[in-house]
Structure 1
């Protein structure tokens, strides 16, 4: 039995052609030809059973045979805002694994102690798309451009908002305990700082802007591990 092939096509229902990168993979790697079966995902909750209608050297056209709406496996909206690590391999790994687990939005923060001030979201977007296809997630997380910490926390957001940090002098509660006891909440935003943590002034400013002070367990975690833990805890709390 042939392995089912999945391709990502934004607004797939109103298109009939694979994007260039997807077409290259379909034609040159998988060697699809007219009449071959494929599945398409639009990243907004739908799969499509489709058939290759035309395969040339550069183009792969498709015809949708059946629309297959999917059910989300978690409720609400999970938003991770994280300061990227100096070594991008680590944050790329986290992005891939968090996408496989399932979340809704990713924002990169420019903080006081950030060692990385510039980031190519195009590369992150490709990693997200690949992970969505690999794990067959009907919803693709939104990837936002880097934003300053102050601009992010001053923007109104729905649901409960949390900032994870390591300062002993600021009281904090365990994230998993909080969100597990709040069965009414369906939107979660978690901030994770850079390798040197948020500055204490940033933590206090976030609290002034409605963010709750939290820990992610008893261990001291690397940035990318903390980000993945935040997504996992939120996912487990909001799963259907």
Structure 2
């Protein structure tokens, strides 16, 4: 099954029109022809089955036959705010794998000790889109623009909130003990040099609970993916 993306698709539409890029892939790469079955999503929870009616490489038209059930729909949200890694490939690896496993929102977080302070949102969005289609998701994760740590804290209010850090001072709850099925969660993951003590205190003052991800010291992208996987596992 190959899933195509049509962001302007709405419930009740008779046709879905694919972008030039999606159309080129369907017609020139996959060699699809008029009458072939196609599956299309708008990335906002709607998936449809249809028939390719106009195989134009500049804008395919798909006649919609049926709306499909979103079997991956969930009653909770997972939001991970993670510092971009120094090596960009590692951040893109996280975006891909977290999307496949099941994350709802990702915010690149610029921290005091961040070695990478610029995030290529356009490139990251392409990674997320590709992974969402590959894993047959009808609801795509939201990838936010990079945001400063203090600014981010001010905008988060709902759900359970956790900050994972490596400093030995103070009590840290195990993340698995803090998660409960059905809860919306926001988890902060710091840069290679960890959060600063000031950032941890600021997060705690905003209601974030300090947590540990275990006894091993993890890379930033590994820690972020572990947090996503743990939150998903609790809800299985």
Q: TM-score, length-normalised on structure 2?
A: 0.94
Indicate conservation of the 8 Å contact 2:6/2:41, yes or no.
yes
Deviation by residue 1:5-29 (Cα, 9 ceiling, x = unmatched): 2101113235631012111111110
For 1:222, the equivalent position in structure 2 comes to 219
Aligned to 2:117: 117
Structure 2 residue aligned with 1:26: 26
Displacement after TM superposition at 1:75 (Å): 2.8
* 1:202 aligns to 2:199 (yes or no): yes
Task: Say yes or no: does 1:191 pair with 2:188.
Answer: yes
**CA RMSD of superposed structures (Å):** 1.4
Normalized against structure 1, the TM-score is what?
0.93
2:16 and 2:139 map into 1 onto residues whose CA distance is 20
1:167-197: CA deviations, max 9, x gaps?
0012211001111xx34x5200000000111
Q: 1:183-215 deviations in whole A, cap 9, x for unaligned? A: 4x5200000000111111100110011000001
Question: Match of 1:40, SS?
Answer: strand
Structure 2 equivalent of residue 88 of structure 1:
88
Separation (CA, whole Å) in 1 of partners of 2:156 and 2:111: 19
Q: Is the 8 A contact 2:189 2:223 kept in 1?
A: yes
Write out aligned runs for 1:1-240 (5 A). 4-13=1-10, 14=13, 16-72=16-72, 74-179=74-179, 182-183=180-181, 186-239=183-236
Shift of 1:119: 1.0
Q: Quote the Cα distance in structure 1 between the aligned partners of 2:16 and 2:47.
A: 14
2:16 aligned counterpart, secondary structure:
coil
Contact kept? 2:9, 2:16, Cα under 8 Å: yes
Structure 2 distance, partners of 1:72, 1:62, is: 23
| Alignment partners' CA distance in 1, 2:142 and 2:209 | 24
Gaps of 5+ in 2: none
Mapped to 2, the partners of 1:45 and 1:142 lie a distance apart of 13
Give 1:73 deviation, angstroms.
Answer: 5.3
Shift of 1:69: 2.5
SS at match of 2:230: helix
CA distance in 2, matches of 1:231, 1:43: 20
Q: Which runs of 5+ in 1 are unaligned?
A: none
Contact 1:113–1:197, Cα closer than 8 Å, also in 2: yes
SS in 2 for 1:45: coil
- Counterpart CA distance in 2 for 1:186 and 1:11 is 30
